[in-house]
Amino acid sequence: MTTVPTQFDAMAWITNGEPEPEKLSQVLEAATCEEMLARYKEVEAIYNKSEYEIICLWLLAAKDTADRGARYGQIAHLYETITDGIGMMDGVALAASYVAKYVAKDARILDVAAGTGSMGKFLFNEHGYRNLEALDISPGMLEEARKKNVYTAFYQKALGEPWDFADGEFDATTCINMLPDPTAVSVDVAFNEPIRVTKPGGYVIFTLIVTGAEKLGYLDKLAELEAAGQWKSVDVSEALDAGAGWSEPLTPRTYVYQVL
């Protein structure tokens, strides 16, 4: 059974409020990043978005989980340049410092949506963690992560779908620079599996882009899970000011929850 929001019309959500939404849809429907950038050149005067932003919109506009994984795979070699270029790598370093504040060095940590492994790199190199495992939908992104030699296991799985890990198998779960992405996972189920596979007393540590998170009901969901006795809020970072060259500010915050 899949719990990914298959009925969610990602393209309508992305193009909503943009001038001439059909033109933007045609750009974002391209199967390859190269083709998308070529189409975008024809219409860029209308949208005036940076190359990094249009690539990120193209990633969001994937048709389904397999397409999303394939799209990320196409830009895996560029991914960290993009993240750094828009100031989001600082958010990864900040999130890693919150892991170091709460989670024991010998902890078994599942890095959800690990991508190319930036979080693993900070946890391994800066904070001495050695028991890191990477989960992501994209084989291409996991391939880049593998090259870093900081993870001991790799899982091609989706956040939002049931995982075959045992309850409480991990000491901590992280999910950095992915949420909120309503095109990839619904807020209703985003935290179910991270909470289930993290042992009681362990930590779920994630970033949210604050403005999007509020609009998409994430802040309500965090409180709802706390009221239901699933976890308790332990810490939350300042909101960073990222998103250089973006049409709207990107403000990632790190959240630390302890599973009950």
State the residues that interact with ligand SAM by CB under 6 A. Answer: 68-69, 72, 83, 92, 113-115, 118-119, 136-138, 141, 158-160, 176-178, 184-185
Q: Which is nearer to ligand SAM, 39 or 71 (CB)?
A: 71
Q: Which is nearer to ligand SAM, 107 or 176 (CB)?
A: 176
Which residue's C-beta sits nearest to ligand SAM?
115
Give least dist CB 174 to ligand SAM, A: 8
Give least dist CB 46 to ligand SAM, A: 26
Give least dist CB 158 to ligand SAM, A: 4
Distant-in-sequence, close-in-space partners of 89: CB < 8 Å, separation ≥ 6 = 80, 83, 118
Can you point out the beta strands (E) in the chain? 109-112, 132-136, 153-156, 170-179, 198-209, 231-236, 252-259
Q: Which is nearer to ligand SAM, 32 or 232 (CB)?
A: 32
Q: Which is nearer to ligand SAM, 82 or 222 (CB)?
A: 82
Q: Which is nearer to ligand SAM, 21 or 212 (CB)?
A: 212
Q: 15-45: b or e for each residue (b if 16 or more CB lie within 10 Å)?
A: beebeeeebbeebbebeebeebbebbeeeee
Give least dist CB 130 to ligand SAM, A: 19
Give least dist CB 150 to ligand SAM, A: 13
Q: Which is nearer to ligand SAM, 70 or 259 (CB)?
A: 70
Give least dist CB 248 to ligand SAM, A: 16
Name all contacts of 45-52 with Cβ < 8 Å and 24+ positions apart.
46/19, 46/20, 47/18, 47/19, 48/247, 49/247, 50/245, 50/246, 52/82, 52/85, 52/86, 52/245, 52/246
**Cβ neighbourhood burial of 217 (10 Å; 0-12, 13-18, 19+):** middle
